[in-house]
Structure 1
Amino acid sequence: MDFSIKACDWSKGGEGPFLTGKSDCIVVGVFEAQTLSGAAFAIDAATGGLISRIVKAGDMDGKAGSTLFLPEVSGIGASRVLLVGLGKQDAFGQKAYGDAAKAAWRAILGTKIAQVTFALAQLPIKDRSADWAVRTAILALRELTYRFTQMKSKPEPAPRALRRVVFSVDAGDEKAVKLAAKQGAAIANGMDLTRDLGNLPGNVCTPTYLANTAKKLARDWKLKVEVLGDRQIEALKMGAFLAVTKGSVEPPQFIVLQYQGGAAKAAPVVLVGKGITFDTGGISLKPGEGMDEMKYDMCGAGSVLGTIRAIAEMGLKLNVVGIIPTCENMPAGNATKPGDIVTSMAGLTIEVLNTDAEGRLILCDALTYAARFKPAAVVDIATLTGACIIALGHHNSGLFSKDDALAGELLDASREAGDPAWRLPLDDEYQDQLKSNFADLANIGGRPAGSVTAACFLSRFTDAYPWAHLDIAGTAWKSGAAKGATGRPVPLLTQFLIDRAGQ
């Protein structure tokens, strides 16, 4: 799909091709109980008061999310106009704009419209700029057009006809918006990769498949990649990681993917992604109902790969390292048992009280390994705990960090990206729940504050650098009729890196 940017001052009657040029449709907004303005006012004037008459007749009242096509409009070059209800103008902020953009795209995607002029990005959005509006619109469209058909014998044809979108912006915003459009397309491409990896079944998306995906990214975008196998993982004494993979016939992989966009000696940001390609719970076997969704337990790894793909396409000027420990968690005669004690790469001994708390075991060794890069910051991303879903539901990802500055950066990025996160506590008092009578620490701390104690466990391995943890168990995928990977938190992570790069 092609996205382009053109400056237009609608107060001057829609300069350039917007009113006279050929287009299948112009998308304009109408506020509730407000006089027409901007593109709606200009088109109304060019069509002899058509929009005013429709509003007066009550066919378009401006209610948020409402849409109305005006076919065969005379007086302008476009064959159709799509009116989008925006709600109250004084309440038109980030959410209202996002809802309006999605309503517009849904209406358009239900037609054979191939080329659209999109004027909503010029609307006055509270605390948001035109570049944010364009990027948000692109991501909304790409989300609605995403389809996963790779595993079907006869994939259904794509229902959309839309091929080109021209965004109308003010002249002063044109440069920033062009960059935003490039970023939006790159983020969407990264999210699509993350969605695809999550949606693939566990018999296809194995640890080796993830490693091959990283290798392909390295070839396509000139990155550096290293994949460590069993013997190398053993040589590094990653006993916690190896404890998880013992029961599986699929070999574990330890993926290190490096993007060098900054100065050679500049400290990188390290992203660590949990890559359990299928999680049965091991000997602490999960209930059968819904276990198929445990193919999504590698969405942390998928988001790291998607984020690195996005920043590589952008050409972001900073250094980023992606570290992905990946394996299956399976029951077998040789699998790790509850009560077993294993030794991590950091030398700490861990009593495995529950083999279904495996993500923290593979991550702790990866976090120890991350220190060798002398990182500016480390962020791990994991579908770690069901407790986080209980605490936050499916809207916010859980954010944990003792570094207020790093936590603030991530929260700011989450708000800018529309990919929300909520900071949860990481107080030392919770560490007491991880005490073990037989080892340095236990891998679980009981039911109370389960997501907090999981983060506390990881924090034991992060003294060497600023660190934050994102628990995406409630946001990485959807269940039910909308079942599928969401691509989150690629927008949050990418915005965090854009901000770090100062771009």
Structure 2
Amino acid sequence: MTALTLSTSSPAAVRADAVVVGVTKGAKGPAVAPGAEAVDQAFGGKLAAVLDTLGATGSEGEVTKLPAASGLKAPVVLAVGLGDAPAKGERYGAEALRRAAGVAARALSGSKKGAFALPVQDADGAAAVAEGALLGAYTFKVAGAGKNGRRGKAAADGKAASAPLAEVTVLGGKPRDKAFKAAADRATALAAEVNRARDLVNTPSNALNPASFAAAVRQAADEHGLAVEVLDEKALAKGGYGGILGVGQGSDAPPRLVRLGYTHPAATATLALVGKGITYDSGGISLKPPGHNETMKCDMSGAAAVFAAVVAVAKLGLPVNVTGWLALAENMPSGSATRPGDVLTMYSGKTVEVLNTDAEGRLVLADTLTRASEEKPDAIVDVATLTGAMVLALGNRTFGIMANDEAFRTALHEAAAEAGEQAWPMPLPAELRKSIDSPIADLANMGERMGGGLVAGIFLKEFVGEGLTWGHLDIAGPAFNESGPFGYTPKGGTGAAVRTLVRLAERAAAGGL
């Protein structure tokens, strides 16, 4: 992973492949943002004019490279757009800094060192620049598959990814200051775990199945001193996990349920995180149409986010207890697959008529929510690429938030905003509940088509323990970016919801759950 350092050196004196400066949109053209005064001085105070001549405007995401002026140690100046400057007396927003740093880090792919002279006024600003740069520097190397779906070496025909920027130096960061050091440590841990989730999401399904995913969790648990329990297909059958087994029974790769636990001696709150982990979703017998299968390796993004978030909490040593529950299965059509019209007996004892085998995520989550509820956590949050309806409602960059408690839904929304992730609160209309009634079972796994994302949330609510606080994040839109990279977000797996979950854990540790 890209290394991170803090430095109080002048951007004119630092030795790097490039020095990154911020540019904002001004009424009369681009303006150089604070932090780059020494660079501007090397250009005789005319850096903005030079950039204007080169066509730069300061728009968000814009990148302009130019040879360094005499007096600068770095040979290249990379100017990145910050968008509109903040109002007088206000600071640059954390998300604007994250995105600018991410764009710059991507532009410096293949370089050894980039010195970021962006507007850093305090430890929070340094954290934003560091986080954005580390996330923006991400690259994924295509992995091949060994026998039985085990991870193999890099595929010979895999695309060669450019090496990420090797080192990020945040100028204006004070390496001996406790607040700045803590900010850097948090950014490093958080970025590493977001990138872990991205790697898992990007891994082809022939190289990642439920068993190999569970093995990866075991390895990380051993490394970070976490408790781990893995239920295989025999244990799931003995325990009566009809939802997970029903989804996974059509595949040669049997399902798994993983419990990952982090505890802290000073913790006063417990948070349970539940992730949908469909390592490949064909739709089952209700097969997806052509054009909808190619990216279905990403249907385990919720489980990847939960896994990464628990490890991040452990790395940060937060005083909160967190359990991560990963419901892992592969949804395939075969002679043994669940059929539309079948009735499954869930772990809770409730029966579910399966009207559509492509509505499988709610089935594996239902069993797992019931199991997580048995431990009586203070709150449960599930994360899933659950419905196409949520993408239609909110687009490709925003995830939906539902909850059985309005205050908790607000807390989740606030945590997402604080983390820099786009989210929006959604309702659970009571009148939609009757649409999942079944004449032959306690309920059906499908209901009204209109508001389908809300119907899915209502279904999940049925399996949350009585009296427990629960939230649901439908990350179907932002979990996998099929377009080009933007800001600090790469093409492919994004690691959506990891930062929100970690921020929620931080709030819980501070007594704000």
Tell me the TM-score normalized by structure 1: 0.88
Given candidates 305, 308, 311, the residue that maps to 2:310 is 308
Letter in 2 for 1:51: L
Which amino acid is 1:122 matched to? Answer: V
Q: Tell me how far 1:236 sits from its aligned partner.
A: 2.0
Please identify, of 90-99 and 319-328, the stretch whose mean Cα deviation from structure 2 is larger: 90-99
Q: Secondary structure at the match of 1:178?
A: helix
Q: Against the structure 1 CA distance between its residues 333 and 88, is the aligned structure 2 distance closer, same or farther, given a 3 Å change threshold?
A: closer
The residue aligned with 2:77 is 81
Quote the offset at 1:168 in angstroms. Answer: 2.2
Aligned counterpart in structure 2 of residue 115 of structure 1, from 113, 116, 121: 113
Q: 1:26 aligns with which of 19, 27, 31?
A: 19
Partner of 2:431: 429
Aligned equivalents of 1:319, 1:106: Cα separation in 2: 36
For 2:381, the aligned partner's letter is V
Which whole-Å CA distance do the structure 2 matches of 1:405 and 1:175 have between them?
33
Aligned-residue CA RMSD (Å): 2.8
Deviates more, 1:138-147 or 1:188-197: 138-147
Aligned partner of 2:494 among 482, 486, 490: 486
What is the CA deviation profile of residues 235-293 of structure 1, one whole-angstrom value per residue up to 9, with x for unaligned ones?
Answer: 222222222222222222111111123447x4421111111112222222222333132
Q: Does 1:42 align with 2:44?
A: no
Alignment CA distance shift 1:184-1:438 (3 Å)? same
Give 2:340's match in structure 1, choosing from 334, 338, 341: 338
User: CA separation of 1:368/1:78 partners in 2, compared to 1, >3 Å: closer, same or farther?
Assistant: same
Q: Give the Cα–Cα distance (whole angstroms) in 1 for the partners of residues 231 and 71 of structure 2.
A: 65
Q: 1:210 to 1:27 in 2, by over 3 A?
A: same
| Paired residues of 2:432 and 2:448 also in contact (CA < 8 A) | no
* Higher helix content, 1 or 2: 1
CA-CA distance at 1:423 after TM superposition? 1.0
CA gap 1:96/1:291 in 2 versus in 1, 3 angstroms: same
Counterpart contact for 1:278–1:329, Cα < 8 Å: yes
CA distance in structure 1 between the partners assigned to 2:132 and 2:189 by the alignment: 10
User: Is 1:250–2:253 an aligned residue pair?
Assistant: yes
Aligned pair in 2 of structure 1 residues 457, 120: CA closer, same or farther (>3 Å)?
A: same
Aligned position for 2:453: 451
Q: Which whole-Å deviations, capped at 9, do the CAs of 1:147-198 have from their partners, x for residues lacking one?
A: 2332321656553473322212376995333222222221221122212222
How far off its partner does 1:352 sit? 1.4
Question: Is 2:272 the partner of 1:261?
Answer: no
Shift of 1:303: 1.2
In structure 2, what is the Cα distance between the partners aligned to 1:332 and 1:44? Answer: 66
The one-letter code sitting in structure 2 at the alignment partner of 1:212 is A
Inter-CA distance 20–251: structure 2 relative to 1 (3 Å threshold): closer
Number of residue equivalences: 487
Indicate yes or no: 2:493 matched with 1:472.
no
Q: Following the alignment from structure 1 to structure 2, what is the Cα–Cα distance between the partners of residues 27 and 188? A: 20
- Which residue identity does 1:150 align to in structure 2? A
Asked which structure has the greater CA Rg, the reply is 1
The CA deviation string for residues 398-455 of structure 1, in whole angstroms up to 9 with x for no partner, is: 1110212221221111112221111111122211111112221111113121111111
SS of match in other structure, 2:336: coil
- Work out the CA distance in 1 between the residues paired with 2:128 and 2:93: 15
Give aligned-pair identity as a percent.
39
In the alignment, residue 430 of structure 2 is paired with which amino acid?
Answer: D
Runs (5+) with no aligned partner, structure 2: 145-154, 486-490
* Alignment partner, residue 501 of structure 1: 509
Whole-Å separation in 1 of the counterparts to 2:170 and 2:108: 15
Selected match of 1:293 from 270, 292, 295:
295
Which residue in 2 is equivalent to 1:11?
none
**Amino acid of the residue matched to residue 4 of structure 1?**
T
